[in-house]
Structure 1
């Protein structure tokens, strides 16, 4: 494949173009951290207000902590959305998501029966671990013959003066024949 070829042609299907745009957008922000944090808030909100029906029997899990569950879940959903659009708050959002997930264990039916707790913890940890990437700058291509250093046929003979490196490392020590350019 030719590296100078365009990534996608102008006649690509609109779904392909949208998928590629979404992929580029997703790669510049802590997307998965926001998604896991957002999904962690849903079971924390849902379970205290849910009614489960088994035949004619209604099983209600509602407790007095319904308002606390609602607040914790809404905060986790808000933090998840904020991670998508404000990458600068990732450390604060990660710590807040972890703390809210921990608070949800005693206050919200074991953190949404550990489903919301685990997903919010994973989201908070991903937010703390994410760091923005540094774009790679392309170096201009120079003449390969000008960059080529003289090569000796014998391994033990050092090259001419001026070809050794200005500092000695483990690899360059042997490549320079043991000489240091400063000495």
Structure 2
């Protein structure tokens, strides 16, 4: 390859790995993974057969359909966390509720394994927040930091933001009779 060529200079595995890292950083990846891994044992154990030598132990219960529904919903919520991360808070709350419901319905929450994984995944999904681009962090700190040149009472109103803004209060000289009376007018 010549230096003038526009061909790819990096190995395709490095490029794919970098793209995956960027994709993973834009969404609650670990929350979705824990939720999916938690839904699998909840859905699987009620339909599993355990073979001990020549003896087969069937773990099917009457709650098999409920376990399957809870497990499939948890897997779906994990995929939702990955591909529709806008609704991550809803998906996290739903995952926590389904994990709690799986304790009495699905063999003690997939023998506690599925319960714990789903609970951790839901909590991670609720607590995840999208990151800011690198240059934006310093600018955001500059905008929200109060200036120390002027005391709070003397700062211009444009600098006071949100709940810190104090509404302009009228003095006693500018009150009208209606204002002083609480806004009530007497009929007379």
**Structure 1, gaps ≥5 residues long:** 1-8, 140-164, 169-183
Partner of 1:95: 93
1:86 corresponding residue in structure 2: 84
2:56 partner SS: strand
SS at match of 1:58: strand
Deviation at 1:41? 0.5
In structure 2, stretches of 5+ residues that fail to align are 1-6, 138-147, 152-188
Distance (whole Å) between structure 1 residues aligned to residue 133 and residue 16 of structure 2: 22
> What RMSD over aligned residues (CA atoms) do the two structures have, in Å?
2.1
Q: Are 1:120 and 2:118 counterparts?
A: yes
Aligned length: 137
1:166 maps to 2:149: yes
What displacement does 1:137 show? 2.7
Q: Which runs of 4+ in 1 moved over 2 A?
A: 136-139
Aligned residue for 2:41? 43
- Quote the offset at 1:39 in angstroms: 0.7
1:138/1:43 CA distance change after superposition, 3 Å: closer
TM-score by structure 2 length? 0.69
1:26 and 2:15 correspond:
no
Alignment match, 1:105:
103
